[in-house]
């Protein structure tokens, strides 16, 4: 059985880590460089950095800040937000990112997956998908979750992988920040549809929720506020997951 991963997420706005509920009501959660250093020491398996306002503000990711964060880390580091071209992706990889997350720009130009995978390899291409329940399925959202796309989640996940995405970061907007658990049904549907690892995001509130996500097929589980504000420690989450039978990098 593959080792599962626990991934803290730094949602960054105006150079600060922030966290809200369902992508709204953001509150300050600290300095990204200090947070990265602390999570690296606490046993995180990877770190995710998302510049959450870059697409809305039609600008690139904060490359200099990414570079400062990368200098603090000895674990894999994924970066997204405002990646609109191959040149943007290359700049982030040069700044120290191991993976580049594509979301809004790829929805407008799906070939961006192909182009970035061609120069960096699929292992460095992360398809970030924000989805919201709609009818019997889920609709993909863009621009930090603020705009509907009309795209079906399962169809988009398959297309992203077919075009070169080596991993999917799947965020449930309905569960984000609510702390009642990950979107298990959505996770099961996506993990059954694609052959690449899926990272569960949105809804963690207890250590058991991470194990539930792994039961649903997730290869990794990502969380923000429960780690940022001290509700859970990475060590406690890993202990719970090991007790449920999931291999973890241990001790953290």
CATH code for the domain of 205: 3.20.20.70
What is d(CA 247, CA 111) in angstroms, rounded to the nearest whole number?
A: 36
Q: Please, which residues bridge with residue 223 across strands?
A: 8
Q: Is residue 157 part of a domain?
A: yes
Residues designated as active site: 11, 130
Residues spanned by the domain of 181:
5-243
Q: Is residue 27 part of a domain?
A: yes
Relative to beta strand 147-152, strand 137-142 is: antiparallel
Q: Is residue 180 part of a domain?
A: yes
For residue range 207-238, what is the model confidence (pLDDT) as tens digits?
A: 999 999 999 999 999 998 899 888 999 999 99
Q: Is residue 249 part of a domain?
A: no
Q: Is residue 174 part of a domain?
A: yes
Q: Is residue 11 part of a domain?
A: yes
Instruction: Give the residues of the chain that fall short of pLDDT 70.
Output: 19-29, 52-61, 250-252
How many separate domains does the chain show?
A: 1
What is d(CA 124, CA 26) in angstroms, rounded to the nearest whole number?
A: 29
pTM to 2 decimal places: 0.91
């Amino acid at each position: 059985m593959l080792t599962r991963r626990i991934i803290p997420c730094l949602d960054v706005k105006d150079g600060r880590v922030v966290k809200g509920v369902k992508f709204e009501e953001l509150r300050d959660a600290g300095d990204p460089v200090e947070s990265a250093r602390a999570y690296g020491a606490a046993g995180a398996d990877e770190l995710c950095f998302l510049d959450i306002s870059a697409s809305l503000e039609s600008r690139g990711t904060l490359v200099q800040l990414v570079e400062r964060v990368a200098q603090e880390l000895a674990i894999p580091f994924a970066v997204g937000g405002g990646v609109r071209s191959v040149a943007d992706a290359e700049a982030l990889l040069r700044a120290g990112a191991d993976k580049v997350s594509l979301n809004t720009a790829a929805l407008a130009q799906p070939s961006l997956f192909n182009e970035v995978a061609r120069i960096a390899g699929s292992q460095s291409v992360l398809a970030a998908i924000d989805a919201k329940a709609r009818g019997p399925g889920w609709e993909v959202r863009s621009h930090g979750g603020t705009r509907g796309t009309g795209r079906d989640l399962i169809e988009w996940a398959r297309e992203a992988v077919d075009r070169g995405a080596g991993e999917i970061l799947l965020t449930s907007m309905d569960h984000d920040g609510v702390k009642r658990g990950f979107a298990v049904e959505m996770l099961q549907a996506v993990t059954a549809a694609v052959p690449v690892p899926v990272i569960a995001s949105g809804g963690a509130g207890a250590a058991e929720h991470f194990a539930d996500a792994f039961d649903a097929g997730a290869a990794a589980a990502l969380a923000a506020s429960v780690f940022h504000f001290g509700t859970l420690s990475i060590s406690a989450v890993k202990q719970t997951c090991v007790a449920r039978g999931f291999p973890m990098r241990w001790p953290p």
